[in-house]
Amino acid sequence: MSRVLIADDSREFVHNAEQYLKRHGWVIEIAPDGAAAINKLQEDLVKSTGERLDAILLDRVMPGITGDEILKWIHDCAGLERLCVVMVTGFGNVPTAIESLRLGAFAYLEKPVELPDLAATLEAGIVWQQMRAVRRELAVLPSLSGAFNAARQWIASALRPAFLDLMLAQGDGTVTSGMCSGPTLKGRRPAFLTQVIETGKMLLGAGDEEVRSLDPINPGTKSMVVLPLRVEDRVIGAIDIEFDREDAFDSQWSRVFEELGDVCGLAAAAERAQQRVIEAERAQFEQQRLLYREFRHNLATHAQIISMQTRELEEKTYPLAHATAPEAAAELKRRIEIVRANADAINAVTADLKDLSSVPKLEKEPLDLGQLVRLLVGEMTDEFRHLKIEVLVDAPDSIEVQADKIWIDHSMRCLLRNAADAIGDFRKQNPNGQEHSGQVKVRCYSDGPIATVAVSDNGIGFEPEQKDVLF
């Protein structure tokens, strides 16, 4: 039930408009002159949302304060952004009509006005004005689905379409649909979506032949409107409005449809911009977190190497020194204990760091694990060739998984570089180590619902009980 203020000094026009609109469910308020209209509008500002005016039918020429002056006042008044203004006059001309539209009037009608046309104009204008308000509120609601669903409520109540939906064309040729209830696409790409993306123009169709050429979704469609959804000068989809009657709309509604497309386009742009910010922040967080994990892993690895080397000194070098030089052996024993204590302290620190570096949430997506593994190994081929290390990959053509691509990428690179470091450490610690033929094996396989990537090398090893500390 919409509320309209009729501000006009013509008693005959006010009486006729009031009686017609009341019969069709409108709530009417009347202002016989400009001053009374201003008072009504000021009172409206403090009313609750459900009792406020939706539109004003404003006579351009009235005694005292004119309709033009009231229109300017409405334009500058905070709190009346959702008020639809329809200007009426018996003395119209093109310049004044253009100025009225520039100041925000939805329509400029010349008397005598056909009352059904007047009601249709008010209905369209209210929806148009509400969608303009949504445009201003996008800073608070930067959501394509939110803006579209808000706008469709007004379209649905005013025009009662048989079907209303928003469709986004994906890069692979598929279509995302179903933001509203109604028939589903079932995988097909309707002809109107291709047309609107290619032309970038609004499509209107009425009658069997025109509608059939647009390929509607609803079987009973007799007229339809298809709006291009633009984001950054590119059409990414369409808004499809279908009707089960041919006389569903007139020329006044074309402005409403264009506004709907603009509102949803702005919302889509805002949503994409927001998503880019989120992705950038997540990428930065992932980089910092993964560098932290790599630091912890490297710290733990070197601490374990120190522990193994001190154990070797204690088990092999100390007995020989004790047999030949007891005093020197005692000093060696003391230094070994100091090194072991320091290594234990580092191990304790890395154990404390383990919880801080855990993964808070994995962002899973469909990906081919076998293809990803081969791609990563290929990118690191030159690095391994320089180190004289052979990398062997055993992976099927395709393993489809749900996984976090960023995390898989980083983990694989860490494992491969750790394998290279292990081979390098083996070469340094053995007399003929530089002749050692380094080899890294990467095996990728699936066992039921679990996919596994295993990396092995022929470098320096570590004790089995140290696995939980290192990994």
Q: What pLDDT, in 10s, does the model give residues 321-361?
A: 677 777 777 777 777 777 777 777 777 766 666 544 444 55
- The answer to whether 63 and 35 are in contact (CB under 8 A) is no
* Residues in contact with 201: Cβ distance below 8 Å, sequence separation at least 6, in sequence order: 228
Give pLDDT, residue 177.
Answer: 59
pLDDT of residue 396: 87
Closest residue by Cα to residue 125 from 159, 77, 157, 85: 85
* CB-count burial class (<10 Å; 0-12, 13-18, 19+) for 121: buried
Write out pLDDT tens, residues 165-187: 777 766 555 566 554 434 445 55
Give Cβ neighbours of residue 204 (< 8 Å, ≥ 6 apart).
224, 225, 254
pLDDT of 100 > 60? The answer is: yes
* Averaged pLDDT, 450-456: 91
Q: What is the pLDDT of residue 429?
A: 76
Q: How confident is the model at residue 277 (pLDDT cuts 50, 70, 90)?
A: low
Give residue 111's pLDDT: 85
Strands (E), 125-218: 163-169, 175-176, 203-206
Q: Which region holds residue 393: left if phi is over 0, alpha if psi is between -120 and 50, else beta?
A: beta
- For the cut 50, the answer to whether the pLDDT of residue 37 exceeds it is yes
pLDDT of the residue at 329 = 75
Give the separation between CA 176 and CA 165, rounded to whole angstroms: 11
State the pLDDT at residue 85: 92
